[in-house]
Amino acid sequence: MAENKIFTLSQVAQHNSKKDCWFVINGRVLNVTKFLAEHPGGEEVLIESAGKDATKQFEDIGHSKAAQTMLLKYQVGVLQGYTIKDTPSFQETKKKEMEAYVIKNEGKLKSATLFEFFVPLLVAGSYFAYRFLARPDDIVY
Query: How many domains are contained in the chain?
Result: 1
Task: Identify whether 128 is part of a domain.
Answer: no
Whole-model pTM: value is 0.57
Question: First CA to last CA across the chain, in angstroms?
Answer: 86
Q: What is the pLDDT of residues 118-129, one digit of tens each?
A: 999 999 999 999
Query: Which 8-state DSSP code applies to residue 87?
Result: -
Helix (H) or strand (E) holding 30: strand 28-31
Task: Identify whether 130 is part of a domain.
Answer: no
Return the CA Rg of the chain. Answer: 30
What string of pLDDT tens digits covers the 141 residues of the chain? Answer: 445 788 888 888 998 888 999 989 888 999 998 888 888 888 888 888 888 888 888 888 888 888 888 888 888 989 888 777 655 444 455 555 555 555 555 666 777 777 888 999 999 999 999 988 888 776 666
Identify the CATH number of the domain in which residue 22 sits. 3.10.120.10
**What residues are paired with 6 via a beta bridge?**
78
Range of the domain at 74: 6-100
Task: Identify whether 1 is part of a domain.
Answer: no
Q: Checking DSSP bridges between strand 75-79 and strand 6-7, what pairing results, if any? A: parallel
